[in-house]
């Protein structure tokens, strides 16, 4: 199993409001960066093969990787056009998507409980989505909608006539088996070659879900604390509300 962590973005909304000049994966909570939390928890879960997709200020992230002194250093791939959409970043790591085995595709800007990762990696080879049914309505969350357990939508804004029986927020972590990961890489390549490199990668994942031919199971992580960090207020919520509920990752700094 291979984990691809998407950490190329500029984090423009956070920078504009807070003046941050470093990749969001280097945000520290209780003295530990988001990146270290990701890597330590993945390693503890048995995932040693990690690929970091970088772009903005990659040298800062590489310095953090060096500081961690990991037994198996993550592979680093750089998207020089990180100012475009995350679909281009996924395209940049196409080799890692298609070299075999299950693939975990993970946003870097998430502070989360280890129960969420366990739900993602548990069991044999599979395609898996994560859903949190306890979410705040609005335009910001990426909604995952299911009907009879089958994904029917993955978007921030939903069509009024959409039929579904379950709705929640997508955590932003996906698991794909070898065949499905290869298909996603093809869809992403079509986006880039068709002039849609500025799109978020969730749009390509949505196309994958809706085209049929792939079976997905959905792990309900409602109740497990997590937060995606986009705005200064998210940093505050992460520190004050989410962090106190987390189990310290194995091997993290004390």
Res. 18: pLDDT tops 60:
no
The three-point CA angle 163-223-228 to 5° equals 80
Question: Band of the pLDDT at 248, cuts 50, 70, 90?
Answer: low
User: DSSP alpha helices (H): ranges in 45-173?
Assistant: 58-68, 86-92, 94-98, 114-121
Structurally, the chain folds into a number of domains equal to 1
Structural domain range at position 95: 2-127+171-214
Give the mean pLDDT of 66-71: 94
Domain annotation covers residue 160: no
Name the average pLDDT for the chain.
92
Give the mean pLDDT of 23-50: 95
Q: What is the CATH number of the domain that holds 31?
A: 3.90.550.10
Nearest partner of 167 among 194, 192, 135, 197, judged by Cα: 135
Task: Burial-class residue 7 by CB neighbours within 10 Å (0-12, 13-18, 19+).
Answer: buried
Domain annotation covers residue 58: yes
pLDDT value of residue 11:
62
The three-point CA angle 115-120-124 to 5° equals 125
Res. 253: pLDDT tops 50:
no
pLDDT value of residue 20:
56
Give the mean pLDDT of 80-105: 95
Domain annotation covers residue 225: no
> Under DSSP, is residue 150 helix (H, G, I), strand (E, B) or coil?
strand
Domain annotation covers residue 90: yes
Domain annotation covers residue 15: yes
Domain annotation covers residue 152: no
The CA distance from 191 to 63, in Å, is 32
For the CA atoms of the chain, what is the radius of gyration? 17
Question: Band of the pLDDT at 12, cuts 50, 70, 90?
Answer: low
- Whether the pTM exceeds 0.85: the reply is yes
pLDDT value of residue 140:
85
The CA distance from 202 to 188, in Å, is 10
Domain annotation covers residue 116: yes
Domain annotation covers residue 224: no
Beta bridge partners of 54: 7, 78
Asked if residues 1 and 104 have their Cβ atoms less than 8 Å apart, the reply is: yes
Asked if residues 109 and 11 have their Cβ atoms less than 8 Å apart, the reply is: yes
Beta bridge partners of 2: 49, 103
């Amino acid at each position: 199993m291979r984990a691809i962590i998407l950490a190329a973005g500029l984090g423009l909304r956070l920078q504009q409001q807070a003046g941050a000049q470093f990749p969001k994966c280097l945000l520290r909570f209780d003295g530990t960066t988001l990146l270290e939390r990701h890597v330590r928890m993945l390693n503890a879960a048995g995932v040693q093969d990690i690929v970091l997709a970088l772009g903005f200020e990659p040298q800062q992230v590489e310095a953090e990787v060096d500081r961690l002194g990991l037994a198996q250093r993550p592979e680093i791939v750089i998207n020089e056009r990180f100012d475009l959409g995350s679909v281009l970043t996924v395209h940049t790591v196409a080799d890692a998507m298609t070299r075999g085995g299950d693939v975990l595709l993970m946003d870097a800007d998430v502070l989360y409980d280890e129960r969420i990762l366990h739900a993602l990696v548990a069991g044999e080879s599979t395609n898996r989505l994560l859903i949190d049914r306890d979410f705040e309505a609005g335009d910001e969350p990426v909604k995952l909608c299911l009907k009879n357990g089958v994904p029917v939508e993955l978007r921030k804004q939903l069509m009024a006539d959409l039929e579904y029986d379950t709705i929640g927020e997508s955590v932003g972590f996906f698991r794909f088996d070898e065949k499905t990961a290869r298909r996603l890489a093809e869809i992403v390549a079509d986006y880039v070659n068709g002039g849609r490199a500025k799109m978020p990668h969730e749009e390509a994942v949505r196309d994958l879900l809706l085209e049929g031919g792939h079976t997905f199971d959905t792990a309900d992580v409602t109740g497990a604390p997590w937060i995606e960090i986009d705005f200064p207020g998210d940093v505050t919520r992460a520190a004050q509300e989410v962090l106190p509920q987390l189990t310290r990752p194995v091997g993290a700094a004390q």
